[in-house]
Amino acid sequence: MNDPRLEPAPQSANQPPPLVGYNAWSADRVLVEAVKREGGGWIAERASRMGDLVGSERMQTLATQANRYAPELRTHDRFGNRSDAVEYHPAYHELMALAFGAGLHSLVWTDKREGVWVARAALNYLWNQGENGVACPVTMSFAAVRVLRHSAKLAEEWEPKLLACDYDPRPLPLAQKRAVTIGMAMTERQGGSDLRANSSRAAPLGGGQYELTGHKWFCSAPMSDAFFTLARTEAGLTCFFVPRSLSDGTRNPFFIERLKDKCGNRSNASSEIEYRGTRAHIVGEEGRGIATLIEMAHLTRFDIVVASAGMMRAALNQAIHHAAHRKAFGRRLVEQPLMQNVLADLSLETEAAALLAFRLSRAFDRAEDDGRERLLMRLITPIAKYWLCKRLPPLVVEAMECLGGNGYVEEAPLARLYREAPLNGIWEGSGNVICLDVLRSVEREPDSVAALLEEIGRGGVRSRRGGTAISQMLKESGSAESRGRRIVEAISVALQASLMEQHAPQEAADAFCASRLEGDWGRAFGTLPATAPCEAIVRRAWPLGSGAD
């Protein structure tokens, strides 16, 4: 007699199929429209290929493997010699090859077409729906170009291989490499975000060469081929370029003390390092190291804005896909009014994030030739970085809850995204640091406020009221610093509302303004006003399998 306990479980069992085999580009009309509108529509073919990759089983398997099998530090080789090598799972190297092969790090610098910043942002937005650890070395290598050009000699030597659409992980001197990556190591244990507290020293050796002594508390992607770093000379904190290999073929003293055991971002190694007789080249003006590296940080913050918006999209996709296939109480979850409200609320947040990210991308595109866009680029970058990083974690948590227990297991991509979500709010300046940067920017460049209010005013009556409130907040007496978060939040929401009024369907813009600007909203996602057309908003957000097809 058959034992029922040995019978296989039914394959359907009301379990949604994996979200796989879709195109993350063509399925995202908000993205496609934004990229075209902001001037980067010519990237569509490459973006479609990236969308296929992100939605593929291959990408999902690589991401799972690279994060499950974390990097391992090998301080010494088998003969007892110091090696300071980090070993990665093959999946990580394959992801790196895919990202760098697609030109995620180089497109802005190699393609001179109008809208190239928007075009690259589209690829970055898509990539961050698939795997986030690789995004760290990608964005550092991308941003490093700006700082590298402070030294004509270094740029001539390093830039061709830094911009190559290739990946070469071998620990070799520059001359023997097909391609290189560049990272940065700035913060120290005693100072953290307060870089003025750094104590690493640089002793001159002549000819622009220095010898570094000190430590760095955070150094991500420590197997990069070179790093930008800060150390003190007699003139003060100065920016230096530290190659991992010297011209004679030997490895530069660069001691990896340990790898950080991080909450998330596990595919990407982050480490503590020590400089002990480490050779370095001065970059930029001596004593102005922070000002030199701020240029790099401005670009990495921009990438964080785009990445955060992409991660919101990834979470939303999972939530709607699950709700479209899972049945409970006689109906699919996506057909139930309260779930529709939650999904619509997440959709509005995700769309507003994308509109903000791509409006900022356009400002980067036009900043060189347009003074107003340059002001907006400088001011909106920290504003968007602060706000999207604050909105991402609760959005991911709500999306995970849409899946119930299925979302809280490691097989689900949302578990990895959940652990990843807080990181961008910490990297490149945590919330308070970013808000203080906004206030300093407003004080240094008062014309940027006028440009911002004009930008908000391009929306409808509702967002213009938000602009008026911001103007009043900035004029109020008292300490702006203690109100920094409220000021930046108000600016962010008013700007998003304006973009929604300009570019989203009227029902979505109305729901966003009513909830975010006018207070017809609860204290959690899923509390949109009763007038919000939730079903239509969800259908637009995810047409694949949400009932729209």
**Cα separation, 225 vs 350, whole angstroms:** 36
For residue 215, the surrounding DSSP H or E stretch is: strand 209-220
HSE-CB for 140 with a 13 A CA cutoff = 25
- Do 304 and 317 lie in one domain? The reply is yes
Q: How confident is the model at residue 544 (pLDDT cuts 50, 70, 90)?
A: confident
Asked whether the predicted pLDDT for residue 546 surpasses 80, the reply is no
Q: Is residue 155 part of a domain?
A: no
Helix 44-54 to helix 116-127 angle (10° resolution) is 10
HSE-CB for 462 with a 13 A CA cutoff = 20
Task: Enter the tokens of residue 300.
Answer: 């990495």
Which pLDDT score, from 0 to 100, does residue 86 have?
A: 96
Residue type, 44: A
Q: Which of 140, 94, 99, 118 is nearest to 35 (CA)?
A: 118
Which pLDDT score, from 0 to 100, does residue 10 have?
A: 56
Which CATH number belongs to the domain containing residue 200 in this structure?
Answer: 2.40.110.20
**What's the mean pLDDT in 346-355?**
98
Which pLDDT score, from 0 to 100, does residue 479 have?
A: 77
Domain stops at, among 287, 322, 340: 287
- Do 131 and 212 lie in one domain? The reply is no
Domain stops at, among 287, 315, 341: 287
Q: What is the pLDDT of residues 86-144, one digit of tens each?
A: 999 999 999 999 999 999 999 999 999 999 999 999 999 999 999 999 999 999 999 99
- Do 258 and 302 lie in one domain? The reply is no
Which pLDDT score, from 0 to 100, does residue 278 have?
A: 97
CB-neighbour burial class of residue 282 (10 A; exposed 0-12, middle 13-18, buried 19+): buried
Asked whether the predicted pLDDT for residue 481 surpasses 60, the reply is yes
pTM equals 0.95
- Do 267 and 195 lie in one domain? The reply is yes
Which pLDDT score, from 0 to 100, does residue 190 have?
A: 84
Asked whether the predicted pLDDT for residue 531 surpasses 80, the reply is yes
- Do 101 and 234 lie in one domain? The reply is no
Q: Is residue 142 part of a domain?
A: no
Number of domains in the chain: 3
Domain stops at, among 114, 137, 160: 137
Which residues is 331 bridged to in the sheet?
328
- Do 514 and 418 lie in one domain? The reply is yes
Q: What is the pLDDT of residues 292-340, one digit of tens each?
A: 988 899 999 999 999 999 999 999 999 999 999 999 888 999 999 999 9
Which pLDDT score, from 0 to 100, does residue 207 have?
A: 83
**Cα separation, 462 vs 159, whole angstroms:** 47
Asked whether the predicted pLDDT for residue 409 surpasses 80, the reply is yes
Which residues is 238 bridged to in the sheet?
231
Q: Is residue 144 part of a domain?
A: no
Q: Is residue 403 part of a domain?
A: yes
Question: SS3 for 51?
Answer: helix
- Do 380 and 247 lie in one domain? The reply is no
pLDDT above 90 coverage of the chain, percent:
86
**What's the mean pLDDT in 423-444?**
92
Neighbours of 52 (CB within 10 A): 18
Q: What is the pLDDT of residues 230-245, one digit of tens each?
A: 999 999 999 999 999 9
CB-neighbour burial class of residue 436 (10 A; exposed 0-12, middle 13-18, buried 19+): middle
Mean pLDDT of the chain: 93
CA dihedral 332, 334, 339, 344 (to 10 degrees): 180
**What's the mean pLDDT in 490-508?**
97
- How far, in Å, are 36, 281, 508, 546 from residue 236 at the CA level? 46, 15, 52, 58
- Do 395 and 319 lie in one domain? The reply is yes
Continuous H helices in 367-430: 371-402, 413-420
Q: Is residue 128 part of a domain?
A: yes
Tell the residue number behind the tokens 């809850």, with chain if given. Answer: 401
- Do 367 and 469 lie in one domain? The reply is yes
Q: How confident is the model at residue 549 (pLDDT cuts 50, 70, 90)?
A: very low
Residue pair 131/66 in contact (Cβ under 8 Å)? The answer is yes
Neighbours of 176 (CB within 10 A): 10
Cα 292 from chain centre: 22
**Cα separation, 193 vs 158, whole angstroms:** 29
**Cα separation, 384 vs 489, whole angstroms:** 9
Asked whether the predicted pLDDT for residue 362 surpasses 70, the reply is yes
Residue pair 415/379 in contact (Cβ under 8 Å)? The answer is no
Q: How confident is the model at residue 346 (pLDDT cuts 50, 70, 90)?
A: very high
Q: Is residue 548 part of a domain?
A: no
Q: Which of 150, 235, 237, 146 is nearest to 195 (CA)?
A: 237
**Cα separation, 347 vs 399, whole angstroms:** 11
Which pLDDT score, from 0 to 100, does residue 9 have?
A: 52
Q: Is residue 415 part of a domain?
A: yes
Which pLDDT score, from 0 to 100, does residue 6 have?
A: 53
395-401 LR contacts (CB < 8 Å, sep 24+): 395/312, 395/315, 395/316, 395/346, 395/349, 395/350, 395/525, 396/311, 396/312, 396/315, 396/421, 398/319, 398/342, 398/345, 398/346, 398/524, 398/525, 398/526, 399/315, 399/316, 399/318, 399/319, 399/346, 400/315
pLDDT above 70 coverage of the chain, percent:
97
Task: Enter the tokens of residue 469.
Answer: 């409130």
Task: Enter the tokens of residue 295.
Answer: 């240029």
Residue pair 271/87 in contact (Cβ under 8 Å)? The answer is no
Q: Is residue 160 part of a domain?
A: no
Residue scoring higher pLDDT (104 or 190):
104
User: Which range of residues forms the domain containing residue 485?
Assistant: 292-541
- Do 246 and 303 lie in one domain? The reply is no
Q: What is the pLDDT of residues 33-88, one digit of tens each?
A: 999 999 999 999 999 999 999 999 999 999 999 999 999 999 999 999 999 999 99
Which residues is 210 bridged to in the sheet?
204, 280
Cα 67 from chain centre: 17
- Do 300 and 189 lie in one domain? The reply is no
Residue pair 143/292 in contact (Cβ under 8 Å)? The answer is no
Which pLDDT score, from 0 to 100, does residue 548 have?
A: 37
Asked whether the predicted pLDDT for residue 547 surpasses 50, the reply is no
- Do 368 and 469 lie in one domain? The reply is yes
